[in-house]
């Protein structure tokens, strides 16, 4: 089975973030700083990471998220693990 495209991965992340943090999906864009747009801190970012790992059935070490704050870069990190 082929891996999903980066656009699909990005869309899945945006849907997941919108649903979990109760933000309208249309308000989120790929280049948003998710800390600011979602109003979250690092503990909540780890919560998001846990949900992403479960959703995509991957393991994404949190050190790979160091300095990552936009959905597009996050999607690229995830894509590399699919």
Residues that bind another protein (CB under 8 A): 35, 40-43, 45-47, 49-50, 53-54, 59, 61-63, 65-66
**Distance separating the N- and C-terminal Cα atoms of the chain:** 11
- Residue placing its CB nearer to another protein in the complex, 34 or 75: 34
What is the nearest approach in angstroms of another protein to the Cβ of residue 48?
11
- Residue placing its CB nearer to another protein in the complex, 27 or 54: 54
- Residue placing its CB nearer to another protein in the complex, 17 or 65: 65
Distant-in-sequence, close-in-space partners of 70: CB < 8 Å, separation ≥ 6: 30, 31, 32, 33, 34
Rounded distance, CA 23 to CA 53, Å? 20
């Amino acid at each position: 089975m082929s891996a999903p495209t980066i656009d699909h991965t990005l869309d899945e992340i945006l849907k997941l973030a919108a649903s979990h943090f109760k933000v309208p999906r249309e308000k989120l864009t790929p280049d948003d700083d998710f800390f600011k747009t979602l109003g979250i801190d690092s503990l909540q970012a780890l919560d998001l990471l846990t949900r992403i790992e479960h959703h995509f059935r991957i393991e994404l070490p949190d050190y790979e998220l160091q300095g990552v704050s936009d959905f597009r870069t996050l999607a690229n990190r995830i894509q590399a693990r699919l």
